[in-house]
Structure 1
Amino acid sequence: MKHLAIIILTLSATFCFAQEKEQLIALKKANNYVYQGNSLVKEDDFVSAEMAYRKAISEQPTGVAGIYNLGNSYYKKGNFDEALYRHQQAAENAESKAEKHKAYHNIGNILMKNKKCKEAVEIYKNALRNNPTDNETRYNLALAKACAEQQKDQQDQNKDDKDKDKKDEENKENEDKKDKEGDNKDDKKDEGEKDKKEGDDKKDDEGKPKDEKEDKGKGDDNKKNKQQKPKPQPGQLSPQQIKSLLEAMNNQEKKVQEKMNAEKQKGIKIKTEKDW
């Protein structure tokens, strides 16, 4: 039993030693790749440098050096989005304050490049919390504060200009509406005056409708004609009576003539008499 325990301890120590040895070898390889990448960056060979840094990250995935330096190469190349992503990774994986300070400082610089001054202020503060003595970070913080204040003033000015433009537009719409209403009133006024003029044209000097007066005049004339039509006077015959009398006379004469003709045929002379 004692020998078994010794064997187990020996194997455990051997395994730990082998593991530590592998980690040391991986760390050494990673550092070599980082060193190689840094040299390539100085030669502006960013493609080869990126490959070297990625090999370093492959050897030591949680290592900060490979991630941090890869982020720096992206920053120098002008690829700020990738640079930001890698430095955020470095800040998360960093174990020492020095590593955190460097990662936050670079993140602040990237945000300033992207004109995100307000966000940069908070990041620089995080960098100073990990290294309060860094004057460069402090200087960048002051610049970020001034930039953020300027952006705020510009935003306020833009908002005021926008509100002013909106107000001017509303005033113009109101003025156009008033002008339109005024034009409608003038049109209605003109129509009213026209109707009034037409109405006046239909009236005489006394203010009475001409048509009514004309109709009334015609009525008066008809009435006058009716009044002027002669009426039969007492003791005189009307035209109808005269006509009837003439017809009666003609009939009577016809009868008398017929009678006379009959008498002539008989040879007897008679006297003609009038009925009236």
Structure 2
Amino acid sequence: MLKIKYVTGLVLLFSLMFMPKGFSQSLRSSVNTGVEKYQQKNYSGAEANFKKGLEKVPNNFQANFNLGDSYYKQKRYNKAIKAYEQALLTGKNNILRSKVYHNIGNVLLQSKKIKESIGAYKKSLELNPGDMSTKYNLSYALNLLKHNKSRNKNNKNKNKNKNKDKNNKNNKNQQNNKKQQNKQNQNKNNQQKQKNQKQNQQPQNKNERRKNNKQSMKNPQQGNKMTKAEANRILAALRHDELKLAKQLRRKKGKPIKTAKDW
């Protein structure tokens, strides 16, 4: 991975010669002590000395620039930007201002503000086109932006496919639930239909029994129907019996007896 090159600007003490005589010695002492603490990685101590120098000369370029550096090392990026912006107001030439924009670009890049850092590096190169450190960091920021766009696109497609699979799964579940519900409704309808048929069948059977009973009462059971020949034989037998009975009576009384019926 590319590593950001950082410009510290902690060697600008020669500029103090332009300070008013009443403040030069005390300001120089505060800034020099701050530089020593910074080099010892005592960034909070360096911050205190740079602030002490700014109490004497608020618009001093070196003190503001170095204060921004100490904030950067402490990852207090918002305060670093404000200190660098103050240094920009008093930068006397393009080289000094280009260094400020370079460091502003670094702060923005560390804050994940890649597009803004690219803008700061470009401003630095406008003021000092030959600065290789700034060109290096600008290239790094551009590649990082390209990589992030590609990664975001892949993540977006991945999430899209994931959501699509999730929607398909939900649709499938909904279809299965709907199918199951339809099956349950069909079973319920069939059960109700069978129940209704059973209820309708019971009164019908009852009515049929009543009808049959009524018919039986109206038309008594006649048994097997008698044929004409059978009827004649029965009549002949009855006549024979009656004649036989009459002969017996005549023998007993001595006179004929008239039969009841003339066959």
Q: TM-score normalised to the size of structure 1? A: 0.64
Match of 2:239 in 1: none
Q: Which residue of 2 aligns with 1:102?
A: 99
Runs (5+) with no aligned partner, structure 2: 1-17, 221-263
* Residue 39 (structure 1) aligned to one of 36, 39, 42: 36
1:221 pairs with one of 187, 192, 213? 213
What SS does structure 2 have at the residue aligned with 1:133?
coil
Q: How does 1:16-95 map to 2 (within 5 A)?
A: 23-95=20-92
Look up the match of 2:240: none
Q: What is the CA-CA distance between 1:219 and the residue it aligns to?
A: 2.5
Cα deviation, residue 108, structure 1: 1.1
Indicate the SS of the match to 1:115: coil
SS at match of 1:62: coil
Say if 1:53 and 1:69, in contact at 8 Å, map to a contact too: yes
Say whether residues 1:212 and 2:204 are aligned partners: yes
- SS at the partner of 1:69? helix
Q: Is contact 1:108-1:121 (8 Å) kept?
A: yes
CA contact (8 A) 2:59 2:86 kept: no
Q: What RMSD in Å do the two structures reach over aligned CA positions?
A: 2.6
Q: Equivalent of 1:159, from 156, 169, 188?
A: 156
* Alignment CA distance shift 1:44-1:213 (3 Å): closer
Count of residues in correspondence between the two structures: 203
Deviations 1:12-66 (A, max 9, x none): xxxxxxxxx9934224532332222112222333343222211211121112111
Contact 1:27 1:59 in 2 (8 A): no
8 Å contact kept, 1:101–1:128:
yes
Change (3 A) 1:43 1:196: closer
Structure-2 separation of matches of 1:123 and 1:22: 29
Distance in 2 (CA, whole Å) between partners of 1:68 and 1:48 is 16
> What's the CA shift for 1:149?
0.8
**Cα separation, 2, equivalents of 1:48 and 1:104:** 25
Cα 1:47–1:202 shift into 2, 3 Å: closer
Q: Report the counterpart of residue 187 of structure 1 in structure 2.
A: 184
Deviations 1:101-156 (A, max 9, x none): 11110111122223332221111001111111101101110001001111111222
Deviation of 1:226 after TM superposition, in Å, equals 4.7
- Matching residue of 1:3: none
Q: What code does the residue aligned with 1:219 have?
A: K
Matched letter for residue 65 of structure 1 = Q
**Contact persistence 2:121–2:134 (CA under 8 A):** yes
Partner of 2:3: none
- Compute the displacement of 1:196 (Å): 4.5
Query: Does the alignment pair 1:172 with 2:169?
Result: yes
Q: Does the 8 Å CA contact 1:27/1:60 hold for their aligned counterparts?
A: no
The answer to whether the 8 Å contact 1:30/1:59 transfers is: yes
Please show how residues 139-158 of structure 1 align to structure 2 within 5 Å.
Answer: 139-158=136-155
Shift of 1:88: 2.8
Aligned AA for 1:128? L
Q: Find the aligned partners of 1:101 and 1:58 in 2 and give their Cα distance.
A: 25
Greater mean deviation of Cα atoms: 131-140 or 81-90: 81-90
Judging changes above 3 Å, is the alpha-carbon distance between structure 1 residues 171 and 184 closer, same or farther for their aligned structure 2 residues?
same
- SS of 2:173's equivalent? helix
